[in-house]
């Protein structure tokens, strides 16, 4: 089973695909889509849609999970983040993947054992859980892998 996890953002969007063939989870592909703040917002959303669609076509995940919207002090940031999440969810839906959403605290708890884990703690646990030779970078990518693992754990996929 393959799971695509997304750590959404409008300037940096992390993605991670994990698989469990032999009872041991492994990273298939992960990275971060970097977008330029100077680009019009609609163009950034279009790039997000196309990149996520390409990842889905290339990696063929069976399931899809995304981090839910966290509290934002700035309403504009929250609205833009909602747009980015919506575009990713539509890309997944257009490839017949339903979206599962997890709160940041739940993701951290499932992979690091505490909902207040730092990004660096999550990164080190992802390295350990997926047997990676070095910590996955950037942090957006390790967060996305954490989303995918959280989904696997919560869905009872025994990864």
Give the C-alpha distances (Å, rounded to integers) separating 31 from 69, 117, 136.
20, 21, 8
Active-site pick, 7, 19, 63, 143? 7
Respond yes or no: is residue 21 known to be catalytic: no
Residues contacting residue 125 through CB under 8 Å, at least 6 positions apart: 111, 112, 117, 146
Sign of CA dihedral 102, 113, 133, 9: positive
7 is catalytic: yes
Using alpha carbons, select from 101, 99, 91 the residue that is nearest to residue 48. Answer: 91
Given the residues 19, 63, 140, 143, select the one marked as catalytic: 140
CA 100 to mean position of chain CA atoms: 11
d(CA 89, CA 65): 9
List 21, 62, 63, 67, catalytic entry: 67
Catalytic positions, written as ranges: 7, 67, 140
């Amino acid at each position: 089973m393959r799971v695509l996890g997304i750590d959404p953002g409008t300037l940096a969007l992390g993605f991670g695909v994990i698989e469990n063939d032999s009872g041991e989870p492994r990273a298939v592909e992960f990275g971060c889509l970097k977008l330029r703040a100077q680009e019009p917002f609609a163009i950034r959303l279009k790039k997000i849609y196309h990149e996520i669609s390409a990842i889905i076509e290339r990696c063929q995940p069976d399931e899809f999970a995304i981090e839910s919207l966290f509290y934002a002090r700035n309403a504009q940031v929250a609205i833009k983040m909602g747009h980015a999440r919506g575009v990713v969810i539509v890309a997944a839906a257009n490839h017949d993947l339903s979206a599962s959403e997890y709160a940041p605290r739940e993701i951290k708890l499932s992979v690091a054992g505490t909902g207040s884990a730092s990004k660096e703690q999550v990164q080190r646990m992802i390295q350990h859980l997926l047997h990676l030779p070095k910590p996955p970078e950037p942090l957006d990518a390790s967060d996305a892998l954490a989303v995918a693992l959280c989904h696997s754990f919560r869905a009872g996929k025994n990864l």
